[in-house]
Structure 1
Amino acid sequence: MAKALVGYLGGPTNDQLQQTATMRRRIADLENEVLRLKVENDGLLAALRERVDQVSASDLAEPVSH
């Protein structure tokens, strides 16, 4: 089965090696982007919690003026 995936004779071609390297770089870039977004999201959630904690019951009872 492995021979069918890599090729019956020889190993991976130069194109396959290059594509693999490109995909690994892209995956690393995407993982870094996910990490950055998680950190940003955590900061936004913390800021939102802080604002919610500052809102009093009387603030909620007042109608919003447009």
Structure 2
Amino acid sequence: MAKALLGHIGGTDPRMAAEMRRLQQRVRDLEDQLVRVQAENDSLAAAVQTASLDHELFATTVAEREPALT
């Protein structure tokens, strides 16, 4: 009876330990993926910001031109 209780309450179940290791690895993989995606997002946001500034500069330059003779 003591062995049954020990196994049920505090014993180490190899399947449970394996599942815990698998889940911990999955969490680490997802955290790594999150870091990569955030870095890619920051890069894309910077590119959009740069493109937006370029567009504003171009729009200002076009607006300052004199109208074409008709």
Is the TM-score greater than 0.5?
yes
Residue 27 of structure 2 aligns with an amino acid whose one-letter code is I
Find out whether 1:44 has 2:44 as its counterpart. Answer: yes
CA deviation after TM superposition for structure 1 residue 9, in Å: 3.2
* Percent identical residues: 26
Deviations along 1:12-61, one digit per CA (max 9) or x if unpaired, are 300000000000000000000000000000000000000000113774xx
Q: Normalising by structure 2, report the TM-score.
A: 0.66
Q: d(CA) in 1 for partners of 2:56 and 2:43?
A: 22
Residue 44 of structure 1 aligns with an amino acid whose one-letter code is L
Considering fraction of residues, name the structure with more helix: 2
Residue ranges of structure 1 left out of the alignment (5+ in a row): 1-6, 60-66
Q: Which runs of 4+ in 1 moved over 2 A?
A: 7-12, 56-59
2:19 matched residue in structure 1: 19
Residue ranges of structure 2 left out of the alignment (5+ in a row): 1-6, 60-70
1:53 matched residue in structure 2: 53
Question: How large is the Cα RMSD of the aligned pairs?
Answer: 2.4
CA deviation after TM superposition for structure 1 residue 8, in Å: 4.3
